[in-house]
Structure 1
Amino acid sequence: MGSVGLLYVGAVLVINGLMLLGVVPGKAAAAMNLFVGAMQVVFPTIILTQSDGDPGVILGASGLFLFGFTYLYVAWNLLTGAPGEGLGWFSLFVAACAVVYGTLHFTLIDDPLFGVIWFSWAVLWSMFFVLLGLGRESIQRRTGWFTVFLGIFTGAIPSFLLLTQNYPSGDGSALIGAALAVGLFVLAWLLGAPKRTSISRDKNTVDAST
């Protein structure tokens, strides 16, 4: 994924995560999804038309459409009030593809760190599927936190590392990235835990009701 495009993927993930957390209203998040979604469809199309059939270039551009269509789909739902089931099941497709792209980064492309990033996205899009496709609203806040975290740590930070030619490679960086991803998932799960409502009652209230 291009370093510039990756930066704005990070931005839209942060916005969408804040939306899931109730910080950003849905319609306020629609514009960023439209902008980034359009960019992630137009740019890879241009790349494909100029690829001269190069398999590596085609492979690299192909994954961008998954994100472009996701964000355009999000914008459509936000602006039209359409239900989220379609987006949820599309997210399952994206998650499965992300596993394939992650595996290819370990085996074919020899970029294990970005393979870890793809696997992280597979987990996130799987959460979108559970939340939207299956309607499990109990994980909304957990999904929101994880979305924000991945926007920063798999979007913005890797983008700046690529832009400044400081992007790390090798198995060591992949191990660190994997440990960080697991830690962020656990943190998101803890921060997004549903608030427990106390079932205890004042003794006098209980007595009065019996």
Structure 2
Amino acid sequence: MSNVGLLYVGAVLFINGLMLIGKVPGKSAAIINFFVGAMQVVFPTIIIAQSNGDPAVILGASGLYLFGFTYLYVALNQTFGLPGEGLGWFSLFVAFCAVGYGILNFTQANDPVFGVIWWIWAVLWFLFFLLLGLGKDSLTLFTGWFTIIVAHLTATIPALLLLSGSFEATTTNAIWMAAGGFLALAAAWFLGKRTAVSRASATAPA
């Protein structure tokens, strides 16, 4: 994934997480989903067109479409008030592919950090599947907070490190990333419960 594209993945995931916890209206969030979704479709198309058939370049660009189509799907759903089941089942497809991209980063790209990042994304998109595809509304706040945290853990921070030339794809850093993923799950669960309790208290009769 391109460094610039990764940075804006962080931005759109952050906004979508805020949408899930009720801080940003859906139609407002749709705007950045349109912008980033279009970018994540146009950029890989250009990269593949100029790749001269290089399998490594094509593989590296191909994963961008998973993000681009997701964000465009979100944008259209929020703009036109469409049901989310289709996006949910597409998210299951993305989660499955993300597991594969993670394996390829370990075995072919020699980048264990992004191997772990792809697996964290697999967990995130699987949560989108549970929430939207299977209608598990009880996971809304948990998924929202996990999205917010993962936006920065797996996208914003790595993108800034890559852009500054400070990124190191070492096993040690991959272990730290994996630990961050587990902590993100725990923190999202705690924040989701806390948010639910706060809302229940706010709506309870005096």
Distance in 2 between residues matched to 1:112 and 1:45, nearest whole Å: 26
4+ residue runs over 3 A deviation: none
Alignment partner of 2:197: what SS? coil
Give the partner amino acid of 1:8. Y
Alignment partner of 2:69: what SS? helix
Question: Which runs of structure 2 are paired with 1:57-72 in the superposition (5 Å)?
Answer: 57-72=57-72
Shift of 1:168: 1.6
Q: Which residue of 1 aligns with 2:5?
A: 5
Alignment partner of 2:82: what SS? coil
Alignment partner of 1:192: what SS? helix
Q: Which residue of 2 aligns with 1:36?
A: 36
Q: Which residue of 2 aligns with 1:174?
A: 174
Q: Which residue of 2 aligns with 1:195?
A: 197
Question: Which runs of structure 2 are paired with 1:1-210 in the superposition (5 Å)?
Answer: 1-193=1-193, 194-195=196-197
Give the partner amino acid of 1:120. I
Q: Which residue of 2 aligns with 1:204?
A: none
Distance in 2 between residues matched to 1:60 and 1:42, nearest whole Å: 14
Distance in 2 between residues matched to 1:99 and 1:9, nearest whole Å: 18
1:49-82 per-residue CA deviation (whole Å, 9 max, x = no partner) reads 0000000000000000000000000001001111
Can you give the 5+ residue segments of structure 1 that lack an aligned partner in the other structure? 199-210
> Could you tell me the TM-score, scaled by structure 1's length?
0.92
> Could you tell me the TM-score, scaled by structure 2's length?
0.94
State how many pairs are aligned. 198
The sequence identity of aligned pairs, in percent, is: 62
CA RMSD of aligned residues (A): 1.1
Give the partner amino acid of 1:149. I
Give the partner amino acid of 2:164. T
Structure with larger Rg: 1
